[in-house]
Structure 1
């Protein structure tokens, strides 16, 4: 059996198991979340959205148990690139254990919409609440790159790399900083290519964006 067919079969078995867990525990919000999150992972967004909305109705009289479902639905919308809808769902989350993650997802949604100031504010809030600050620090690095503030971008990417030396996103970010600073021998890009050539190829569009930004800055400097 081919690998793709095996993966499809495994996914179907996992869905059956997760549906059985919902059927066995119809008043367990985590059972709904696990199924919805798995459907989201499989990019079955309409099914995941329908499930989370149905689950929210089940717990209509227990709003404290809806938090994880709002979070799950927000992730569905985020993955579907419906960022305004995603933000609305994440804003509803009040649970202390989920709040940090919800703030981080709001930051990512604002970043995806190029609203960098709001993205930065929510990323900083998320960083204060999350035990693992790596995702927030990486996002803040990317936000500062988008704002053209390469000094602060470098600071946040280095925070990540100092703790996780092979973090691809942060290493690539440091490569962007070196590019912006005009360094020819870009060791960070070389390392990313060695660790994961496919990741580097996917990120190459960002290189063109940075080069365009630097050209625009150079033109502005010439007209001053």
Structure 2
């Protein structure tokens, strides 16, 4: 994803940068990111929309701001709205990042076939990205294609054996295939992130019911 200093700079410092140079569009992008990290989503949305108008004549600024605003809506769970901003990005490097975000957005909406198209586009261009393969695995799992889901999670584990999502997803595939005993992947996932595992495990029965067609 685009590099940003949002995590390193406080909101007040970024505001000062903008006050010193109102044409510093990257400071606006960082400030939107900082507001998102602070969970100040309404403020981030307002700033983002105003910034798009302010820098409407700067294509590079517009692309980065479109991504930033799309991320605001994605974080808020407004996936349809996020997608309208991601779709407008023209800068190739950002379009790749946006493809992953769109795939995640569509997956969150349950539009798995559309999510698949974006996820495939992303992983073809960035084959070493673990998160891309994990997302593909989840999409294939949702489409009840266990063999392909298994392959995707295995690829992700080949890139990072300690990735929580890859281990959990591979464990779900194993359970779905009737291998509930000595599930090394679910055990590893639990060790890696006990809190997230507890949350995901509570949804596991429902997922397996869907996969079983019951």
Q: Please, what TM-score do these two structures have when normalized by structure 2?
A: 0.91
The alpha-carbon distance between structure 1 residues 82 and 17, as it changes in their structure 2 partners (threshold 3 A), is: same
- Whether 2:16 is the aligned partner of 1:20: answer yes
Alpha-carbon RMSD across the aligned residues, in angstroms, is 1.6
| Shift of residue 84, structure 1, vs aligned partner | 1.0
CA contact (8 A) 2:104 2:115 kept: yes
| Matching of residues 154-193 of structure 1 within 5 Å | 154-183=150-179, 184-193=181-190
Bigger helix share: 1
Counterpart CA distance in 2 for 1:186 and 1:96 is: 41
- Whether 2:87 is the aligned partner of 1:91: answer yes
State the secondary structure of the residue aligned to 1:94.
coil
Residues 4-32 of structure 1, C-alpha deviations (whole Å, 9 max, x = no match)? xxxxxxx9x81111211222232122111
Aligned to 1:211: 208
CA contact (8 A) 1:100 1:127 kept: no
Larger Rg: 1
Unaligned residue ranges in structure 1 (runs of 5+): 1-10, 218-224
Residues paired across the two proteins, number: 206
Counterpart CA distance in 1 for 2:128 and 2:22 is: 32
- Whether 2:98 is the aligned partner of 1:109: answer no
| Matching of residues 1-224 of structure 1 within 5 Å | 14-130=10-126, 132-183=128-179, 184-216=181-213
CA contact (8 A) 1:15 1:35 kept: yes
| Shift of residue 34, structure 1, vs aligned partner | 0.6
RCO higher in 1 or 2 (8 Å CA, sep ≥ 6)?
2
Counterpart CA distance in 1 for 2:198 and 2:28 is: 36
Unaligned residue ranges in structure 2 (runs of 5+): 1-6
Counterpart CA distance in 1 for 2:92 and 2:213 is: 44
Q: Please, what TM-score do these two structures have when normalized by structure 1?
A: 0.87
